[in-house]
Amino acid sequence: MYYGWRGKIGLISPATSPSIENDFNRFAPEGVATLTTRILLESVDEKGLGAMEERVTEAAKVLATAKPDLIVFGCTSGSLIKGHGYDQKLIHQMEEVSGVPCITTTTAVTAALEAMNAKKVAISTPYCDAVNEIEKKFLEDSGYEVTEIQGLGITDSCRIPTVNVDDIYRITRSLERSKADTVFVSCTGLCFLKDVPLIERDMKKQTITSVQATLWYALRRMGIQDDLGLGQLFEK
């Protein structure tokens, strides 16, 4: 049968992290293929994340030759690091060179928050405080109240894929969730998509993660409505 007969996702991924690539290949429904191009991410700080802009555009140009139905820049902080509207700027640049519809993880997250009717969000991340502050402002400028944001303080891009589920679970569990209607676990470098329903049950809050939102939005943009059982979001 034809490879990717229901749809082909072109995924641009930070080179140090296999997490989003692994989860897309593992959990995408039958007939959906993921084609990956990796780009350099030297450090998870404002300088390193901002430096990816030109690499993203070039990667989209390369991926377009594989004829995907959609191109995804799968990085949360990298698609919001230059402030509100930066994800849309990246999308415009990617689409201009590729001729293919494009999304970013940040775009997917805001679409997921809207679909979940979220208003007040508590956030856990692996990032340092400086990146967290940029993310907080981005979401506030997008119309959401960030009740709290906590991170693990990591700037070494090679360390994020090694973060254990228990580390991110612990910091997520420590969030003061009473004022929030939604928990958001940020970063496509974290590999725990299968655990989203468990986290949702334990937190007693609807939960969005970067990889989950990106896969959900990519599928919905391609007209694929499958419920993959990966949290309440996939019921939307």
Asked if the model's pLDDT at residue 21 lies above 80, the reply is yes
Asked if the model's pLDDT at residue 1 lies above 80, the reply is no
Q: Can you give the pLDDT at residue 97?
A: 98
Q: Can you give the pLDDT at residue 3?
A: 82
Output the pTM of the full model: 0.97
Nearest to 196 by CA among 217, 223, 216: 216
Mean pLDDT of 86-102: 98
Distance CA 202, CA 196 (A): 10
